[in-house]
């Protein structure tokens, strides 16, 4: 996450909220990112400093002008003009978090050493929802390098209960 991505996301969120098109904007972001992933050459064109700003914006307008909300197009034009289109995916993640927080939801990025059992995921979700007083959606992945335990990122906070981190902390204490 960069500060620039966060600033674009906040601006887009405010504009979309004013226009009452939060969901449509989220859907538009998915459309644009999907297209850029499917056609990396197009992403290169939109971010190339060798191509004039006006040409890049015209290409953007031609491709997405009618397919996404007006507020999203405005922010996309600004990102292309300023050479920040490579930060689009990070901006979209930030936007999604803002939209979810506004609707009383949070995404928890959970990384565990081994896959969570369904009962463990349900219990974790329940504890997080009780603590945060909001609906929580878990995105789980595994990372064997954690050795054991898990790491949870939610609403800008990190809860790190991995054995790898605990061992690192012990190592630091022993050095002192």
d(C-alpha 176, C-alpha 173), whole Å:
5
pLDDT class of 103 with cuts at 50, 70, 90:
confident
pTM: 0.68
Q: Quick: pLDDT tens for 123-141.
A: 999 999 999 999 999 999 9
Could you report the per-residue pLDDT of 153-166, keeping only the tens digit for each? 998 889 998 888 88
The structural domains of the chain, with segments of one domain joined by +, span 3-100, 104-175
Predicted confidence (pLDDT) per residue in 21-65, tens digit: 999 999 999 999 999 999 999 999 999 999 999 999 999 999 998
Mean pLDDT of 77-99: 93
- For domain 3-100, the CATH class is mainly alpha
- Topology (CATH) of 104-175: Glutaredoxin (3.40.30)
d(CA 122, CA 38) in angstroms, rounded, equals 35
């Amino acid at each position: 996450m960069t500060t620039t991505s966060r600033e674009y996301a906040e601006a887009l969120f405010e504009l979309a909220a004013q226009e009452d098109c939060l969901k449509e904007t989220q859907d538009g972001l998915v459309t644009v990112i999907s297209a850029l992933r499917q056609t990396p050459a197009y992403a290169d064109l939109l971010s190339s400093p060798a191509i004039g700003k006006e040409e890049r914006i015209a290409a953007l307008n031609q491709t997405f002008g009618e397919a996404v909300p007006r507020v999203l197009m405005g922010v996309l034009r600004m990102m292309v003009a300023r050479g920040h289109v490579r930060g689009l995916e990070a901006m979209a993640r930030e936007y999604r978090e803002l939209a979810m927080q506004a609707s009383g939801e949070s995404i928890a990025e959970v990384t565990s050493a081994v896959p969570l059992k369904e009962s463990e995921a349900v219990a974790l979700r329940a504890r997080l929802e009780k603590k945060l007083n909001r609906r929580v959606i878990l995105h789980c992945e595994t990372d064997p390098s954690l050795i054991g335990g898990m790491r949870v990122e939610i609403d800008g906070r990190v809860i790190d209960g991995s054995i790898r981190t605990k061992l690192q902390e012990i190592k630091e204490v022993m050095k002192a």
